[in-house]
Amino acid sequence: MGSLNKNINFKKIAKEVIDLEIRALQKLKKALNKNFDKAVNAIVNCQSKVILCGVGKSGIIASKISATLSSIGTPSFSLSANDCSHGDMGSISRKDVLILISYSGNSVELRNIINYANRNKILLIGITSKKNSDLYKNSDISLITPEVKEAGLEMIPTSSTINQLSLGDALAISTLKKKKINNLDFKKFHPSGSLGEKLKTAEDLMLTKDKIPFIDENKLMSKALKIMTDKKLGTLIVRNKKKHTTGIITDGQIRRFNSKNINLNTLKVKNVMTKNPIKVDKNILATKALSIMNERKITSLCVYEKKKRFVTIGILHIHNILNKKIY
């Protein structure tokens, strides 16, 4: 190792590396062809598992792509190319889709796996940069990542692995779109952590049953004020005889009436309430619900289920969201 270079501009080097990798991605974008569609359909129609494998840095990329596929509900895992030759190929079945990643496509460690896949008629997707390679020639579906200039010594896997990763992400997101995976589906695979919090819905946070401050629209406000005090939400949900939500009363409204010296106690609820309160479906993301509250400058939302928009099954207060640190 040589002596340290004291006169070096790290920011300049960083920009050069990033520019190099951007150019690599642009080449990848132009190289996409019909085989990409075939690969996506193969993953979507897989009857068992999508198994990824690579050597060296490509093996690390394979693990990441596998994790992404699993996160969108496509069963997947990655295998070590070295371990495959020592028994791990037994975990690959005919109903699986096997994706092998190799820049050269001629890695010695992959040859046994390629032969095993071909011999057992396992659908093989090959990701490589060499069209004359064993992997390209022996794959059922071959995907090319263009040959690109690497950063640094022009031999350290940088631009090439960025392309592999990007292609894997493109396969995963295309699969997600094809399967019509939505936020609720994604939530099932991410119940915890910061992602899990971001995916919480109104149903997860709303108050239900006897915690909802209901009041009949024909009751006197004296009764309404008592319920509002007992429930301590600063909000009342108004219903008619059919249990349909017809309005809402907030402590802000009460203050405005009091400022006008109006005696509320003798008034009927329906003469004080705000008609047609804002309602949201129980499956709306809490972040979206918070956005609605901020936009409308309100603190509570009535929550309904499916097509029963007139029946309130819960009340979502802004504090329910903020207490979970969902912003």
Q: Is the pLDDT of residue 263 over 90?
A: no
Q: Work out the average pLDDT over 81-92.
A: 86
Pairing of strands 214-216, 235-239: parallel
**pLDDT for residue 192:** 62
Positive/negative CA dihedral, 71, 76, 80, 86: positive
DSSP 118: H
Residue with the bigger pLDDT between 318 and 259: it is 318
Q: Is the pLDDT of residue 310 over 70?
A: yes
DSSP, res 280: E
What topology does CATH give the domain 202-322?
CBS-domain (3.10.580)
- pLDDT tens readout for residues 174-198: 999 999 887 766 666 666 666 667 7
Average pLDDT over residues 271-298: 92
Burial class (CB in 10 A: 0-12, 13-18, 19+), 25: middle
For 57-78, what is each residue's pLDDT tens digit?
999 999 999 999 998 889 999 9
* Residue of higher predicted confidence among 200 and 170: 170
Q: What is the mean pLDDT of residues 288-300?
A: 92
Beta strands 274-275 and 279-281, pairing class? unpaired
- Residue 265 has a pLDDT of 86
* 0.75 exceeded by pTM: no
Domain 10-181, what fold?
Rossmann fold (3.40.50)
pLDDT digits 0-9 by tens, 48-59: 999 999 999 999
Q: Which residue has the higher pLDDT, 11 or 264?
A: 11
* pLDDT score, position 2: 62
Give mean pLDDT, residues 305-322.
91
When the pLDDT of each residue in the chain is averaged and rounded to a whole number, the result is: 91
Pairwise pLDDT comparison (157 vs 253), residue with the higher score? 157
CA distance 99 to 141: 9
- pLDDT of 1 strictly over 70: no
| Element (DSSP H or E) covering residue 270 | none
Q: What is the residue extent of each domain of the chain?
A: 10-181, 202-322
Question: Per the structure block, which two tokens stand in for 42?
Answer: 């193969």
